[in-house]
Amino acid sequence: MGATPTAAVLDAGNLQQLLDILQKQNYQTVGPTVRDNAVVYEHIQSVEDLPRGWTDEQTNGRYRLTHGKGKKFFGYVHGPNSWKKFLYPPARQLYAADRMKHRFDVVAPEPSGIKPALIGVRACELAAIMVQDRVLMDGEYIDPEYKARRQNAVIVAVNCTRAGGTCFCASMNTGPRVQEGYDILLTEVVDSHGHYFTVETASEKGRAIAAQLATSPASEEQLAAARQAVDKAARQMGRTLDLTDLKDSLYRGFDSIHWEKVAGRCLTCGNCTMVCPTCFCVNVEDTTALTGEQAFRIRRWDSCFTVDFSYIHGGSIRATDYSRYRQWLLHKLAYWQDQFGVVGCVGCGRCITWCPVGIDITEEARAVKG
């Protein structure tokens, strides 16, 4: 054991050590697993929970999971959900009000103190987390629960060695190679040397954990094999999106007739917003107990595709399908740049895969831009 070098090698048979170390430090280990014929992120206890040997096929409106003879733990691309739900829960009580004799006692919950360990975070997903950091933690208005979970989290990232049919992270400069924001970075390799992970660290927290793993120094040949695997994924991208003049061209196309054309296909179901790793829109609900003794304010995820989302006194601001689709696409690719200095899309392709009618954000942006 001892101090882990800048780049080390962990035998695949020792991967359980990583989960054991995290669990002993009271982290909630969260990672990919197979449920309902999809790879989803859930709490895991063992490497047996990981989707070893599973791969996915993705294209417009289509997702299929297959089990082959492969050995890889992380041979899939990604599934319908993201890490967002572990940092920014789908529902959270903002406060409770208890009725006293002549007043209400309002109590806001303290941050939960949960320590999530996210196992298998891809480059695009890590970029999405960093985008949400800007919105929920780094700005003027801070979400205390998000900030607490984010600061308590350990991120074990995984370089992509295979791209999906709807991926376009390479053109968004968000993948497939992880660049920053992680504590520990793994690259999974299966070759003539066996089945192993190259291990890199980028924080004191990550180095302290990695130092307890049974690693060995990585050879140049092993590092080269890892680099080649990631480079191969970059060449497999199923989509591209040209960022040149993208924001201004979308603003110029605000009144384009194309918005009505895409609205003719869009079901405004909100699938794209629910699977998106960067969306943060919410609704706030006030409820009162039948006795009148208690009241609660609860925040829940919402979607800008619903009519009610933009409702104010007198009606909805975006009553038409095309206005809601335009709001979503422009927010992702244009408004975010003005608000937060980054594009709100990381090129994961989930919105394309999980759209029931297969609408492709790259094609629609290209059509308006053109």
φ/ψ (deg, to 5) at 280 = -135, 10
pLDDT in tens, 17-69: 999 999 999 999 999 999 999 999 999 999 999 999 999 999 999 999 999 77
CA angle (233 as vertex; 227, 238 as ends), nearest 5: 160
Residue 16, pLDDT > 80, answer yes
DSSP secondary structure, 75-113, as one string: -S---S--THHHHS-SEEEEEEEEE-SSSEEEEPPPP--
Distance CA 114, CA 98 (A): 26
pLDDT in tens, 239-285: 999 999 999 999 999 999 999 999 999 999 999 999 999 999 999 99
DSSP 163: -
- The model scores a pTM over 0.75: yes
Tokens of 195: 């089945």
The whole-number pLDDT of residue 192 equals 82
φ/ψ (deg, to 5) at 366 = -65, -40
H or E element that contains 297: strand 294-301
**Average per-residue pLDDT in the chain?**
93
